[in-house]
Amino acid sequence: MTAAAKPLPQITPEMAPFWEAARRHELVVQRCRGCGEFRFPARDLCSRCLSREAEWVPVSGRGVIFSYVVMHQVYHPGFADQVPYAVVVVQLEEGARMLSNLLDCPVQDIRVDMPVEVVFEEVTPEVTLPKFRPRTPPGF
Amino acid sequence: MAAHPLRGAAAIVGLGITPQGRVYGRTPLGFAVDAIQLALEDAGLERSDLDGLLLNPGLAWNDLGMGSFQLQQAMGLRDLRLSAAMHLGGATACAMIQHATQAIAAGMCQTVACVFSDAPLKPPAPQGERTSSASAYGFARGWEQAYGYFGVNAMYALVARRHMHRYGTTQDHLGAVAVAQRRWANRNAQAQMHAEPLALDDYHRARWIVEPLRLFDCCLVSNGGLAVIVTGSERARNLRKPAVYIWGMGQGHLGGDPADTLTSGAVLAREPAFRMAGVRVQDLDLAELYDCYTFTVIVSLEDYGFCAKGEGGPFVAEQVTGPDGRLAINTGGGQLSSFYMWGMTPVSEAVIQVRGEGGRRQVPRHDLALVSGNGGVFSTHSTLVLSRHAS
């Protein structure tokens, strides 16, 4: 018996540029042309300045763990052999926060403010998921 | 200073609680009808006395926006002068009572039923087949499911982790809330967890749901209905049960990311509610604080000023909120240990206590009660101050 597949992200028109960039192993985030605020996920309206003008810009892929949880319940059969696994919120250097997973780090070693960097996990030929891994702090 | 014109203008005069928990075979609409009938009987009123209907439809209603009209038709109510389905999550219950009070004070209507009902639990499947019993709260948004991020538990856990990081709140602190409320529930025969003792060791041994939340950090899920009847204070005096007067009302909806503020809307709602009631936090005899999670209680204690911001954890660890503590908080066991009727759970327990109907869990002084409601993930908030006295 093969393990159930994990669910794929629903790729909405608004978020399509994000997923297209991820396939090229680039991390892009939407930025408001009105006030310059980065935002994630994509929206058609800036909640700060109410501008509808926005652009997708490449970001460094560096950030820190803002918060994290460790999932122990199986809500989808695709995660049955993954529990316990971490879901993290990464505070990107540019400002936006991004929900993701942390690779190469046991769940008990995750800490708030831990420096992380993006990695790309190719899930299917069409879908690549940006994820994160611990980053050696500068100066180390 | 002159008293606020709406202070004591209306009162809760009827309370109806259907069987709660794993109760099957009734629709959410059916539970709502049952709850209203029980509340009318409790008040000594007839269906024809109602001229207002406010509904908070739970998840299983799949409400398309006309729920209160559906309910009106289902129970044959005629000639209503107030009707609405309201959607503020767990803040709806207190908000419904606030709108009923305003409408009564404005002369729009006289007697309003406010009701919540839901039936998210499905009966066990035959032959041990797996069902997704409580999965109504396990939804995922769009792309987030690809990362395994599911459910309301995880949303609260992300905020709780920030609170632990910023203020040093610990697992023991969260556990202290669960233990205190279970001890109240052990004195409440209507509580789903009435017969189940819980010590801090038991709390720590229970399984993780989403770290940092364990099993007993999370509220129950219940099928059932719960209604209250609100009417003007003149009429309230001559009904079957002691009136529970509405002294103070407030709402607070902060916006933004609760993981930044680590506060509930109580920081906005408390001031107008306390000012209208003419009371301070230290005047309260009991508080029924919305408790979808243990963590929510800690934040609410901070935001209402029972303790300083960030000190909710050490505060509850001193065991001040249990049956022997100096603060009577969530005296029926709350949503963690009695039943989960969203904001109606704390409302109902406040009514029971202020009336003096608490039996083994009755608090000795019950003149003044605080009730809070919280919806979404600290997204919406509502406050009531209730009193045994008209003025």
List all residues 6 or more positions away from B2 whose beta carbon is below 8 Å from its beta carbon.
none
Domain total of chain A: 1
**How much is the average pLDDT of A54-64?**
97
**How much is the average pLDDT of B47-60?**
97
Subunit contact A75:B138, Cβ cutoff 8 A: yes
Contact predicate B81/B100, CB 8 Å: no
Q: Number of A to B CB contacts under 8 A, please give it.
A: 95
Residue A92 inside a domain? The answer is yes
How far does B147 lie from chain A, in Å, by closest CA?
6
CA dist., res. B7 & res. B352, Å (int): 20
**How much is the average pLDDT of B291-305?**
98
Per DSSP, the three-state class of B379 is coil
**How much is the average pLDDT of B144-166?**
96
Among A66-75, A130-139, B241-250, B288-297, name the one with the lowest average pLDDT. Answer: A130-139
**How much is the average pLDDT of B54-63?**
94
Residue A26 inside a domain? The answer is yes
CA dist., res. B164 & res. B71, Å (int): 43
Residue A87 inside a domain? The answer is yes
Residues 90-149 of B with CB under 8 A from A: 135, 138, 140, 142-149
Answer whether residue A140 shows pLDDT above 60: no
CA dist., res. B288 & res. B270, Å (int): 14
Contact predicate A91/A97, CB 8 Å: yes
Q: Over the stretch B357-382, which tens digit does the pLDDT of each residue have? A: 999 999 999 999 999 999 999 999 99
For domain B10-121+221-387, is the CATH number 3.90.180.10? no
Q: Over the stretch B109-143, which tens digit does the pLDDT of each residue have? A: 999 999 999 999 998 877 655 544 446 788 777 88
- Closest residue in chain A to residue B139, using alpha carbons only: A75
| Domain enclosing residue A28, as ranges | 16-134
CA B172 to chain centre: 24
How far does A85 lie from chain B, in Å, by closest CA?
8
Mean confidence (pLDDT) of chain B = 95
**How much is the average pLDDT of B282-298?**
98
Confidence of residue B255 (pLDDT cuts 50, 70, 90): very high
Give residue for tokens 């229970």. B206
Residues 155-174 of B with CB under 8 A from A: 157-159, 161-162, 165
| Most A-contacting residue of B133, B156, B211, B215 (CB-CB within 10 A), to test interface | B211
pLDDT at B76: 97
pTM for the whole structure: 0.96
pLDDT at B65: 78
Give A130's contacts in chain B (Cβ within 8 Å). none
Give A76's contacts in chain B (Cβ within 8 Å). 140, 145, 148, 150
pLDDT at A2: 57
Answer whether residue A1 shows pLDDT above 60: no
pLDDT at B63: 77
How far does B153 lie from chain A, in Å, by closest CA?
10
Nearest to B374 by CA among B316, B286, B296: B296
List all residues 6 or more positions away from B279 whose beta carbon is below 8 Å from its beta carbon.
B247, B248, B368, B385
Structural domain spans, chain B:
10-121+221-387
pLDDT at B142: 80
Subunit contact B162:A66, Cβ cutoff 8 A: yes
Give B142's contacts in chain A (Cβ within 8 Å). 9-10, 12, 15, 41
- Closest residue in chain B to residue A128, using alpha carbons only: B146
